[in-house]
Chains A and B, each alone.
Chain A
Amino acid sequence: MKFQSQKVAIPYFVGALALFLGQIVFGLIAGLQYLNGSFLFPELPFDIAHMSHTNLLIVWLLMAYMGAAYFIVPEEAQTELYSPRLALVTFWIFLTAGALTILSYLFVPYAHLAAITGNAALPTMGRGYLEQPLPIKVGIVLVALSLLFNVTMTLIKGRKTSINLILVGSLWGLALLFLPAFYFPQDTVKASFGWWWIVHGWVEGDWELILGALLGFILIKMTGVDREIVEKWLYIIVAMTLISGIIGIGHHYYYTGAPAYWIWLGTIFSAFEPIPFILLIAFSFKMLLARRREHPNKAAMLWALGTPLMAFLGAGLWGFMITLAPAQYYMHGTNFTAAHGHLAFFGAYAMVALAIISYAMPLLRGRIANSAAAQRWEMTGFWIMVLSMIGIALALTGAGLVTVLLQRAADDPMSFMQVQDKARVFFWLREFAGLAFFIGLLVYLRSFFIAGEYGYAGEMKQALAA
Chain B
Amino acid sequence: MATEISVDYPQALPGDFAIWIFIFAELVVFAALFAAYAFARSAHLEMFDAAQATLDRAYGYANTLVLVTSSYFVARATQSIKAGRATRCGHWLAGALGLGGVFLALKLAEFQQDLAHGISLSTNLFYMFYLSLTFFHFMHVVMGMAILAVVAYKAYAGRYGAADHAGVETGASYWHMVDLVWIILFTLVYVVH
Contacts and interface: CB of A to CB of B under 8 A. Distances in A.
Nearest to B124: A261
B165 to A, nearest CB: 17
B121 A259 contact: yes
A240 B25 contact: yes
Most B CB within 10 A of own CB, among A233, A236, A240, A282: A236
Interface in B117-176: 121-122, 125, 128-129, 132, 143
B21 interface: yes
A243 B29 contact: yes
Interface string B18-41: 110110011011001100100010
Interface stretch (A102-110, A160-168, A206-214, A265-273): A265-273
A265 B132 contact: yes
Interface string A217-234: 000000000000100110
A232 B36 contact: no
Contacts of B18: 229, 232-233, 236
11 contacts: A232-B18, A233-B18, A236-B19, A239-B143, A243-B26, A261-B132, A264-B132, A265-B132, A268-B36, A271-B32, A272-B32
B43 to A, nearest CB: 12
A279 B29 contact: no
B16 interface: yes
A281 to B, nearest CB: 12
Interface string A252-269: 000000011100110010
A259 to B, nearest CB: 5
Interface of B: 16, 18-19, 21-22, 25-26, 28-29, 32-33, 36, 40, 121-122, 125, 128-129, 132, 143
Contacts of B128: 261, 264-265
Contacts of A244: 29
Is chain A's binding surface mostly helix, strand, loop or mixed? helix
A243 B132 CA distance: 13
A186 to B, nearest CB: 23
B157 to A, nearest CB: 19
A243 B29 CA distance: 9
A264 B128 CA distance: 9
Contacts of A233: 18
Nearest to B143: A239
Interface of A: 229, 232-233, 236, 239-240, 243-244, 259-261, 264-265, 268, 271-272, 275, 279, 282
A271 B32 CA distance: 9
A155 B34 CA distance: 43
B61 to A, nearest CB: 27
B36 A275 contact: no
Given A236-B22, A239-B22, A261-B121, A268 B33 contact: yes
A265 B127 CA distance: 13
Nearest to A282: B21
A236 B21 contact: yes
B122 A232 contact: no
Given A240-B22, A275-B28, 14 more contacts: A232-B16, A236-B22, A239-B143, A243-B29, A259-B122, A261-B121, A261-B122, A261-B132, A264-B36, A264-B40, A264-B132, A265-B132, A268-B32, A268-B36
A232 to B, nearest CB: 4
Nearest to B21: A236
A295 B42 CA distance: 56
B15 to A, nearest CB: 11
B35 to A, nearest CB: 9
A261 B32 CA distance: 17
Contacts of B36: 264, 268
Contacts of B143: 239
Contacts of A272: 29, 32
Contacts of A259: 121-122
Nearest to A234: B18
A239 B26 CA distance: 10
B126 to A, nearest CB: 11
Contacts of A271: 32
B25 A279 contact: yes
A236 B143 CA distance: 13
A275 B25 contact: yes
B33 to A, nearest CB: 6
Please name the 8 residue pairs, one residue from A and one from B, whose CB atoms are nearest each other, closest first.
A232-B18, A261-B128, A236-B22, A261-B121, A259-B122, A272-B29, A268-B36, A275-B25
Contacts of A240: 22, 25
Nearest to B20: A236
A313 B59 CA distance: 44
Contacts of B19: 236
B122 A260 contact: yes
Nearest to A233: B18
Contacts of B129: 264
A275 B29 contact: yes
A229 B36 CA distance: 35
